Amino acid sequence: MTETAPDDDTGARSARIPDHHAGRRFDAVLAELFPEFSRSRLAEWIKSGDALLDGRQVRPREAVAGGELVTLDVVLDEQTSDAPEDIPLTVLHEDADVLVIDKPAGMVVHPGAGNRTGTLVNALLFRDPALAALPRAGVVHRLDKDTSGVMVVARTLQAHAALVEQLSARAVHRQYLAVVVGALVSGGTADGPIERHPRDRLRMAVREDGRDAVTHFRVRERFRAHTALECRLETGRTHQIRVHMQHLRHPIVGDPLYGGALKLPKAATDGLVAALRGFRRQALHAETLEFRHPSTGEPLRVGAPVPEDMLELMRQLREDTRAAGPGR
């Protein structure tokens, strides 16, 4: 049982090893006593002498007897060298453990080649410099650059570990709005494993040798030649909804990787033609995120309003459907 735990992620901690752990390796027991820290980080602290067994520096594989006192001197190094930038963020929820934001379309989440600045991580580091000590600045899941919507960011190591565990256990509810090509009759489930495309390394594809991927979807609104879908992720693979919709031959409107050539409905209204030609991103928005708060365990449900570009697209699709008349 942990006997001391400071309010933040740094400082001294101690725990008494339960007797039933007798005979087990020190590093394995340490990982169970302090699950908020990664095994690699704990291994570094054992090596540096910041994790002691009854005041002694020991090897990771040393067997414990049970009843010993473990002391841990938590010193967190910066995990990122990315620069903080004063970029406005739309905050949907904020407390000491988590930050929930509404990411705009066009914003890259993580800095990378060609995108060292102007990213969500740069903005987060400006808002909360302490995030530099967390893996990926606290980001536990991502949205594609041109997908808008709700994202949660951990503000402590404990919160980060808890949220990663919930994601791994598929215990996080993630709901998206997608506008796809074609008038679907009903919803369904896309259950197709996803892996990197065998020839185009920028794309993903449904492949038999891929990682399992499941997307549930239902019809929210049907238009003449398009459908607004409510999609729920059971897994969280790269480009998952975009790949599954393409695989079902109902690609997301505006998707530059998976949408194919623009197809205009026959006799479409001028407004719809302009809206479809002018929509230069995938029409995909993360609407709702629900998870258990890492400290209280209570459900926390946060929603992000549908952005104006998608609302306008749907208005034009609605108007085109009305103009076409019944049976069209």
Q: Does the pLDDT at position 9 exceed 70?
A: no
Domain boundary among 43, 74, 105: 74
Determine how many CB atoms are found less than 10 A away from the CB of residue 225: 19
Query: Which of 178, 257, 190, 247 has its CA nearest to residue 219?
Result: 178
Rounded Cα gap, residues 279 and 112, in angstroms: 26
Q: Does the pLDDT at position 320 exceed 80?
A: yes
Q: Which two tokens stand for residue 230?
A: 């409510």
- We report the CATH number of the domain holding residue 40 as 3.10.290.10
Q: Is 271 helix (H, G, I), strand (E, B) or coil?
A: helix
Q: What's the pLDDT at 157? A: 84
Report pLDDT digits (tens) over 184-216.
999 999 999 999 999 898 899 999 999 999 999
- We report the CATH number of the domain holding residue 178 as 3.30.2350.10
In terms of domains, do 94 and 208 share one? yes
Report pLDDT digits (tens) over 16-74.
999 999 999 999 999 888 877 777 778 888 988 888 999 999 999 999 999 999 988 77
Domain boundary among 74, 100, 127: 74
The pLDDT of 294-302, averaged and rounded, is 95
In terms of domains, do 207 and 285 share one? yes
In terms of domains, do 277 and 250 share one? yes
Q: Is residue 123 part of a domain?
A: yes
Query: Which of 152, 135, 139 has its CA nearest to residue 109?
Result: 139
Query: Which of 101, 106, 104 has its CA nearest to residue 150?
Result: 101
Question: Across all residues in the chain, what is the average pLDDT?
Answer: 90
Determine how many CB atoms are found less than 10 A away from the CB of residue 149: 26
Question: Are 179 and 310 contacting, i.e. CB atoms less than 8 angstroms apart?
Answer: yes
Rounded Cα gap, residues 26 and 47, in angstroms: 12
Q: Does the pLDDT at position 2 exceed 60?
A: no
Report pLDDT digits (tens) over 109-137.
988 767 778 999 999 999 999 999 888 89
In terms of domains, do 152 and 69 share one? no
In terms of domains, do 121 and 33 share one? no
Q: Which of 82, 97, 102, 144 is catalytic?
A: 144
In terms of domains, do 151 and 252 share one? yes
Q: What's the pLDDT at 77? A: 56
In terms of domains, do 25 and 161 share one? no
Query: Residue 107 sits in which domain range?
Result: 90-324
**Which string of DSSP letters, residue by residue, matches 110-161?**
S-BTTBSSSSHHHHHHHH-GGGGGSGGGGB-S---TT-EEEEEEESSHHHHH
Q: What's the pLDDT at 75? A: 64
Rounded Cα gap, residues 155 and 236, in angstroms: 21
Lowest mean pLDDT among 67-76, 98-107, 221-230: 67-76
Q: Is residue 1 part of a domain?
A: no
Q: Does the pLDDT at position 3 exceed 70?
A: no
pLDDT category at 7 given cuts 50, 70, 90 is: very low
pLDDT category at 79 given cuts 50, 70, 90 is: low
In terms of domains, do 266 and 236 share one? yes
pTM: 0.80
In terms of domains, do 67 and 94 share one? no
Report pLDDT digits (tens) over 302-318.
999 999 999 999 999 99
Q: What's the pLDDT at 298? A: 96
| 309 catalytically annotated | no
Report pLDDT digits (tens) over 145-171.
999 999 999 998 889 888 988 998 899
Question: Are 188 and 241 contacting, i.e. CB atoms less than 8 angstroms apart?
Answer: no
Domain boundary among 74, 102, 127: 74
In terms of domains, do 60 and 140 share one? no
Q: Does the pLDDT at position 78 exceed 70?
A: no
